[in-house]
Structure 1
Amino acid sequence: MTTPHTAPGGAAPQPLPAAPGADQHPALALVNTRTIRPTGAFDDLAEPAAALDWLTGSGLLPTRRTLTPGEAGRLRALRECVRDLFTARLTGDAPDPAALAELNSALAATPFTGRLHWDGTADGPRLESRPAGGTPLDAALTRLARDAAELLSGPHAEAVAACGATGCIRYFLRTHGARQWCSQRCGDRVRAARHYARTRAAGTT
């Protein structure tokens, strides 16, 4: 599996717009926490406090708790295994056995049980899946692993794509067959580079 990187100097760049599908699939948002920026590689989860902010902001952990360096490392390890599995899915290669084992370990970290929630409002009853054991972090990792497994094996598997912009390592869900980039920003950058190449070629002829 690959190793996450940290931005030089630790300065956080401006956040990128969410890639298509990341709002619906936390596993997709997770793999996109490691990016390549103009200043170099950046890891949104490099520090425990940043990893905690991401987990709580994603609704995967309750607020007002701490995250140890080891726990943040577990989150980064899951991210890297999901990235490797996404890559294997796109290339058609056999997955790294260690990545598959990491995902399956996270899937088994916390059992979930169904609970019927009914508060008498107009919304009516709804079935919820709740953790039946393990730590809050175990439950968060299991949710992320489950979402990744569903993406890899479910109806959206063929829509998972890697951004086609040079230097971008983000993944997204294709909203239509012609989409090649994770954001308008990447698309504009590619189009600008193509325009520059055409202009330069025309100037040398």
Structure 2
Amino acid sequence: MSHLSLDFVSTIRADRSGLVDALSDADGLTTWAREHAAELGLDPGFTASGELREQVVRLRQAVRALFARAVTPEPPSRADAPELPGFEESLALVNAAALAAPTAAQLSWNGAPSLVVTPARGTDEPARLCGRLATAAVEFLAGPDRALLRTCRAPRCVLYFVKEHPRQEWCSTACGNRARAARHYREHKRRPASNAIDANLPL
């Protein structure tokens, strides 16, 4: 299940070397935004500036703070919880960004009429980018999938995910395998030494 808002907060992830930030510089934002150009209402040749990258990262931290609040009482992502802005500040920033990109109602008629909301003419790309990201967060957090938002608890993983079936505990099969292996290792280490010795004695 793919959500623009989940993709946005997942630009912070972890690998064997530690945390990885896909938006660590303007080139990183340019690459990520071009991959999501259709969803963001951007031209395919969009290029980010350093100033815009700073705005987008501030917005991402605010959205991550709202995600951290949404999964309560579960713990938030371990990636940056201590550094996130406060809840009220984050809520205000996301709402302000959503207001910054004006939209226009358009009529689509593919077999039947339907309403399509598009960026209004004259909206610059930075406002459109931040506005669309903020709107995606608002739509996600106000929608039914918020109740299914979870923090992946697998070792090294720092991602949020939407629970797609009742028994799902991790964001991916790979994380599930890693978590089960870690659990098995912990249980093996806790086994009393006498049991291990007894297990090796001949019957």
User: Shorter-chain TM-score: what band?
Assistant: 0.7 to 0.9
Q: Does 1:130 align with 2:118?
A: yes
| Counterpart check, 1:27 vs 2:16 | no
Shift of 1:125: 4.4
Correspondent of 2:53 among 43, 53, 72: 72
Root-mean-square deviation over aligned CA pairs: 2.0
User: Which amino acid is 2:179 matched to?
Assistant: V
Partner of 1:160: 149
1:117 aligns with 2:108: yes
What CA distance in whole angstroms lies between the structure 1 residues aligned with 2:29 and 2:5? 14
2: CA distance, partners of 1:176 / 1:197: 27
Higher helix share: 2
Q: Which residue number in structure 2 is paired with residue 105 of structure 1?
A: 96
- Work out which of the residue numbers 25, 32, 56 in structure 2 matches 1:47: 25
Unaligned 5+ runs, structure 1: 1-20
Q: Deviations over 1:81-112 (max 9, x none)?
A: 1110011122269x622111110111111111
Take 2:55 and 2:165, find their aligned partners in 1: how far apart are those partners? 34
In 2: Cα distance, 1:37 partner to 1:198 partner: 25
State the aligned residue count.
179
Structure 2 Cα separation of the partners of residues 168 and 70 of structure 1: 29
TM-score (norm 1): 0.79
State how far apart, in whole Å, the 1-side matches of 2:190 and 2:4 are: 43
Q: 1:193: which partner in 2?
A: 182
CA distance in 1, matches of 2:89, 2:185: 43
Look up the SS of the partner of 1:137 in the other structure.
helix
Match of 1:86 in 2: 67
- Residue 65 of structure 1 deviates from its aligned partner by 3.1
In 2, are the aligned partners of 1:162 and 1:170 still within 8 Å (CA)? yes
Structure 2 alignment gaps of length 5 or more: 75-85, 196-203
- Deviation for aligned residue 1:129: 1.1
